[in-house]
Amino acid sequence: MKPILVFQTDFTYKEGAVSSMYGVVKCVDRELEIMDGTHELPQYDTWSASYRLYQSLQFWPEGTIYVSVVDPGVGTSRRACVAKTVDGYYVVTPDNGSLTHVKKMIGIESVREIDESVNRLRGKGTEDVAIFHGRDLFGYTAARLASGIIDFEGVGPEYPVDEIVEHPLLEPVTEPGKVQGIFEINDPNFGNLWTNIPLKKFKEAGFEYGDYINLAVKHEGKTVFNQKVLFHQSFGFAQKGDPMIYNNELMKVAVAVSQGDFCSEYNLNYGPEWTVEFTK
């Protein structure tokens, strides 16, 4: 069976960019199956692109080719690449930080720079277009790889995995009765915030389901939230409207408001400047 192609971008559906990418894929091979990851990533946000790859890649069949296009440096000297993970997936993306979480959390076996002299859409008046590599380079190369027209070696020259561009990843700090970390990403539809703290580390610090835990949130060093909050397995254990701590789908500690929106109600967000501290 041919690999599935999964696309994530910051393009939205407001105009024809996504449709054009998919049209190119079908021109290469009508049999290829295309699925959406999301096209609602925050504009230019390569950190979010990186996290969403890590969030969903492992739940697709082995061999899936994931195309991730958040590309503020499109048309410049940043590398366009295909990375092969240690567990048999492929990621087609600009090498601009979007591979950070996959490299750290899953592992990348090898990476190749796309050879534009071979793997670039031509013949449709696109030769001088420098701003749509999602269509002309990434989608086209992914389709050629999935269809078997090229193999991984046919993508282009290999370069060292150590040269992959990465965002800095902060590690949580744990001790008995205390854990510190950051809000690493959000759950935008429900307003939840996910930390970088694994549930295993949280429990090693002594926290258990049913505990009320002191949660302090700081933004650039200033305390913006400080309450005693219930820690439990799912939202129904908290009263409607109450904040709560839970473990999310990736077994990381997260914070929500039961049937509410933690981000908007408390004016909170994510990123390395949003630090969290849980104490007994």
How far does Cα 46 stand from its chain's mean position? Answer: 8
Give the pLDDT band of residue 262 (cuts 50, 70, 90): very high
- Indicate yes or no: pTM above 0.75: yes
**Which whole number is the average pLDDT over 118-137?**
94
In this structure, which amino acid lies at residue 211?
D
- What are 38's two structure tokens? 């999301």
**Which whole number is the average pLDDT over 216-229?**
97
- Residues 6 or more apart whose CB falls under 8 angstroms from that of 123 comprise none
Give the pLDDT band of residue 259 (cuts 50, 70, 90): very high
Helices vs. strands in the chain: H and E counts, helices first: 7, 15
Q: What strand order describes the sheet that includes 90-94?
A: 34-38, 5-9, 65-69, 90-94, 80-85, 108-113, 158-159
**Regarding beta strands 243-247 and 222-231, do their DSSP bridges make them parallel or antiparallel, or are they unpaired?**
parallel
Distances (CA, A) of 16 to 7, 104, 125: 15, 34, 17
Give the pLDDT band of residue 20 (cuts 50, 70, 90): very high
- Residues 6 or more apart whose CB falls under 8 angstroms from that of 173 comprise 179, 180, 181
Question: Three-state DSSP class for 32?
Answer: coil
pLDDT single digits (tens) 71-81: 999 999 999 99
Residue 93: the pLDDT is 98
pLDDT single digits (tens) 162-175: 999 999 999 999 99
Residue 64: the pLDDT is 98
- What are 187's two structure tokens? 């759950």
**Which whole number is the average pLDDT over 84-111?**
98
Is there a contact between 184 and 123 (Cβ–Cβ < 8 Å)?
A: no
Is there a contact between 51 and 45 (Cβ–Cβ < 8 Å)?
A: no
How far does Cα 193 stand from its chain's mean position? Answer: 15
Residue 123 has pLDDT above 90, yes or no: no
Question: Three-state DSSP class for 253?
Answer: strand
**Which whole number is the average pLDDT over 16-35?**
98
Residue 152 has pLDDT above 90, yes or no: yes
User: Percent helix, strand and coil across the chain, each rounded to 5?
Assistant: 25, 30, 45
DSSP type of residue 185:
E
Is there a contact between 248 and 242 (Cβ–Cβ < 8 Å)?
A: no
In terms of CATH, what superfamily is 173-279?
Answer: Bacterial fluorinating enzyme like (2.40.30.90)
DSSP type of residue 275:
E
Q: What angle do CA 68, 69, 71 make, to 5 degrees?
A: 140
- Residue 199's nearest CA partner among 242, 162, 243, 250 is 250
Residue for token pair 């913006």: 224
**Which whole number is the average pLDDT over 271-278?**
96
Domain boundaries, the chain: 5-163, 173-279
Residue 5 has pLDDT above 90, yes or no: yes
CATH number belonging to the domain at 5-163, selected among 3.40.50.1970, 1.10.630.10, 2.102.10.10, 3.40.50.10790: 3.40.50.10790
Domains 5-163 and 173-279 share a fold: no
